[in-house]
Structure 1
């Protein structure tokens, strides 16, 4: 049976859509490298030699009896399928264990040549993305994805949908078009594909190309969330507990996902600062002085290879042993996990008990799992398991709270109690546990039509979306940031865009910023895009991000429209969206556009309302809002004064012109040839300059006043009377 590709592989090659699969256990050794050449297509023979496979001579042809011919055909197909799955499984294993990326790529290529559609989708995505190990070839990647899609491979269908939605492969025949994207995603979603379900759920949720329908959005996200929540790698099984990731030391935190900022683009991608190296040496010094926290932290780093360090279990064990000997509870817990992996249950139990005695939450959780499943020859004891889970949950252990929720829900180890079960599921969900989030989402979604349950459907949708965006997405963002660091802007854009069109806000923001900040020549693959096209794409991505609550994305979309496109109405809409979400910068921009009549009709009242809201938003906005209010009032007062003077001038100008004008004198002739010099037109020609000067003068005067007041206040607080004079001289330019 054809096996779907491992999610980690698809994370690395950005075929994230394979997250819908429950991962099967794969062999850690390569398959038999002897292949009978009579079963291979001609184009594969030369490739097999390059990949190190030995071709056996074909057997002498024979003609079987008709009644056994069909059986023999089925037998050959089964053996061929087993061979292909073995090649793909070995490639997955190589990547999963970070052992030999190049060999994994070669095996995916081989399986693709031999007709494995999943491998074809994977190698297509790898070629699209490019990496330090594989030169980018967008044309070949698109061709490989199309071959896989022709036989209905879900990952390939979802990837082609992404390419149509993003337009990143237009040069190679995949034109931008949401209709085509929706078609591919709809077909892929029928198979339970995570990426396709997420992409469709996002668009139904925010009415992007589809009618807004929260219930339909929740159904799509529920499908994606189910695949993630019940993925065998994430469910708290005994195998995952024993052989899964070892918990990080509490003083360490995972890096998470990085939001791009403008400063990161000023001089290109930042060079490594060496901070991690300094952190390591700092804690190494403390560890040598006997600090057990630093010993434990170093041991954890050496176990996991954190902060760029090479994993070294021998050194890790020595550091942790020293800390445990000194009575450090967390070090005992980590030593227990090492012993558990080695099958030494006696040592593991000893360390976990020492850890729990020192109130370490991981120690309590470990004992709970051992008693729950009867690991290491220990007798199952659900009551003891529940007790240890409770002690861990009191210390905010997400998995322990989830286990307690299950125990109360099913009446195992504790009396059945739906209220307490819900309480623990909610606590676990708040701490980020994806199984608890999914469980709560299902309960809320099923009760959405019950009386008094208004809002349950929307809350279920939120929870399903959060679960769907868990899993291996961090792998994608890590690779996207790595591409950015090595100045591969298209590679970073490609990865962030994949997350963006699956509905992940951070991907939308970062992809838009890459398009905004990239310079000409940064992305040869998009050299056919005009600047106008770039602006349109980045606006689309910024607006997607803004729809999900990141108000600054609306601000950036507005800035791009205002400064680069002179699209004042588009800018106003973006600023107004941000203002409606409570962003002070958006309120300020809306007020100033009303005041200047840019994109909207000039309206002094609306301008003042918006600016007054700025002053009430937060303390950091008070000065800017008040300066703008006083400056505009001064500008309007001077403008009204000019207008009054203009009217007075217009009344006296005709009499003056009769006395002073000379017939035929050019200097006294108006543009319309009437022979009357219009003073009002002369004044109006100077109105813009006068307004700007008034505004600038007013703002400067207010700014000087604010600085003087603040300096005097600081001087009074510090008891330093000389400081006032110094600041005054600096502000006023007096020397």
Structure 2
């Protein structure tokens, strides 16, 4: 049970949810001192009161921990964080179990997470629920409170209860859990079981975005997030650049690289540096392959070596002079990454005397070639007025260019400026959406790769749980993937009738975030009554939206059919033909079905004109008690079959 203090705090929170934030309360954007390589801009305000628990993994109550249990727990974490295969994971589970049996609460909590997802141990949702409940009520652990909220929101192991989910999310967010903050931010942003509140959404998303931004340097655009849509992959429309690399293909590229193929060396280095195409970030391997390619004269590899030496880490000792050497070699060859690197070392005075004018020159050269860090650092210079006149509008311009190219801190700084009205008119909706974008690029994004790999292994139940988890946090691609799995694939977690209801919810959430296929799916669900009652008018509304906003040819075809038959729309043959024509013009794939539909439409139009001309046919048609009207398609098919048979025999005689 919740303590009386938590209850009082929740009442106070609810009373203040809808208090409007006055424009006078919005501070001017200034800087909070950060690490030398990090450049994110923060509003100067009085410090917020500390949360109930600033670390979501820290249990609220102090406790005496058994030293042996703590050692087992740390051994488990070490094996999980430095795993080299399934044996290490099994070892981690073994030590988690040992620590949990000795009453170690953090080990119990981590074990419950493993039970929930079925990672490296048998899935046990009920067992996970019991542990989360115990830690939530007895210890007030924010992380466990969040996971309980997820179970109630998704209906896994419990009867779905959105009220309880919201309560657990709220307590977890107050305790500082970033996942709960994302879940609440999304709910207030999308009005899910709460009144819409942009300011509340902004507040929650900002906390998570700030944490993500603090872990990213200006020398990096952030890890690449592989978000593959299962529907698009099934339809073979996913971008080739997003496809995951399987082990055989990676080994093939490694073989080419070992044989001296410079492009393969650079390509592998980049994949390991960014963590792209399903590979995890491995800076030691990136260093190895970049070094090989740089020795062969590849200027991009030289520039990335400069980045690695400038940042330093476990993979290589930080060395400004070596970084400058590689940056200079790349810059002299006109490489935009090397130019940006030279700009950074001049900007910060890393191994060279600080010189804003030289930094400005290099950043401009880099930006002129469209390189993201060149744009971003120009934004920093205009924001602070380093080497140029301070100009917030120019800063917004360059941060926007960087954001368009995927720079996470570009998104974050734009969010800061829109949130405070610095250089732009204050816009809560724009700021909240930008903060959401940053928050969704945090460490949780790696679950997309895990979920996709599980899906490829045909473990659809486990993939569904992972995508449902991400969907509750507001990831649109995860929402559409949940809808796809529930709609198309064999799973055992939910009954068939329940599946369609849950799929409808997720299609609706994905459609609200702009995914056009989800909008089309909503139309289909209302048309066929999947997960809801048949509602032709609602179906037509979604098809119209998909037609007008995304020019979806299938939606156009469906609208034509509904106009042709008067289903949810006024029966109008001319409008039907118009939408059929639009579908054909929009997509070549629609040509054949449109041609058949138009042929049928022309026959119907011809028959109607015949009926209008000859009264006895009209009388016959009316006196058929609707039989002909309901069976017209069978009569038409019979007529066409007879006509084709007649033509066939006629041609044989000729």
Picking from 541, 549, 569, the partner of 2:514 is 549
Alpha carbon RMSD of aligned pairs, Å?
Answer: 4.6
1:320 is displaced (CA, Å) by 4.5
CA distance in 2, matches of 1:643, 1:83: 93
Match of 2:38 in 1: none
Match of 1:537 in 2: 502
Match of 2:442 in 1: 471
Match of 1:95 in 2: 80
CA spacing shift, 1:352–1:443, aligned 2, 3 Å: closer
Match of 2:31 in 1: none
TM norm structure 1: 0.66
Match of 1:261 in 2: 231
Picking from 690, 701, 707, the partner of 2:632 is 690
TM norm structure 2: 0.74
1:430 is displaced (CA, Å) by 1.4
- 1:124 pairs with 2:112: yes
Matches within 5 A, 1:568-647: 568-569=535-536, 571-581=539-549, 582-599=551-568, 602=571, 604=573, 607=576, 610-611=579-580, 614=583, 628-629=597-598, 631-639=600-608, 641-642=610-611
Q: 1:505-545 CA deviation, whole Å, 9 max, x = no partner? A: 111111111111223xx42xx2xx43211111111111211
- 1:143 pairs with 2:130: yes
Picking from 328, 349, 372, the partner of 2:324 is 349
- 5+ residue gaps in structure 2? 1-51, 237-242
CA distance in 2, matches of 1:622, 1:487: 35
CA distance in 2, matches of 1:413, 1:21: 42
Match of 1:516 in 2: 487
CA spacing shift, 1:422–1:263, aligned 2, 3 Å: closer
Q: Is the 8 A contact 2:54 2:176 kept in 1?
A: no
Matches within 5 A, 1:165-314: 165-169=153-157, 174-230=158-214, 233-236=215-218, 256-261=226-231, 264=234, 277=248, 281=252, 285=256, 288=259, 292-298=262-268, 300=270
CA distance in 2, matches of 1:344, 1:649: 92
Q: Is the 8 A contact 1:108 1:123 kept in 2?
A: yes
- 1:358 pairs with 2:333: yes
CA distance in 1, matches of 2:233, 2:421: 47
More moved, 148-157 vs 100-109: 100-109
Picking from 595, 616, 623, the partner of 1:681 is 623
Q: What SS does the corresponding residue of 1:208 show, helix, strand or coil?
A: coil
Q: 1:81-124 CA deviation, whole Å, 9 max, x = no partner? A: 99987766665454333354344444545555566655443322
Q: Is the 8 A contact 2:209 2:438 kept in 1?
A: yes
1:185 is displaced (CA, Å) by 1.7
Matches within 5 A, 1:25-40: none
More moved, 484-493 vs 465-474: 465-474
1:425 is displaced (CA, Å) by 1.4
CA spacing shift, 1:152–1:282, aligned 2, 3 Å: closer
- 5+ residue gaps in structure 1? 1-19, 27-75, 267-271, 651-677, 702-728
1:310 is displaced (CA, Å) by 11
Q: Is the 8 A contact 2:154 2:160 kept in 1?
A: yes
Q: Is the 8 A contact 1:333 1:363 kept in 2?
A: yes
Match of 1:709 in 2: none
Number of matched pairs: 578
CA spacing shift, 1:379–1:614, aligned 2, 3 Å: same
Q: What SS does the corresponding residue of 1:354 show, helix, strand or coil?
A: helix
Match of 2:143 in 1: 155
CA spacing shift, 1:350–1:220, aligned 2, 3 Å: closer
1:127 is displaced (CA, Å) by 1.0
Match of 2:534 in 1: 567
- 1:420 pairs with 2:420: no
Matches within 5 A, 1:390-401: 390-401=364-375
Query: Which one has the largest radius of gyration?
Result: 1
CA spacing shift, 1:462–1:605, aligned 2, 3 Å: farther
CA distance in 2, matches of 1:532, 1:114: 43
CA distance in 1, matches of 2:516, 2:228: 17
Match of 1:11 in 2: none
Picking from 389, 392, 408, the partner of 2:382 is 408
CA spacing shift, 1:733–1:121, aligned 2, 3 Å: farther
Picking from 458, 462, 484, the partner of 1:487 is 458
Q: 1:700-722 CA deviation, whole Å, 9 max, x = no partner? A: 99xxxxxxxxxxxxxxxxxxxxx
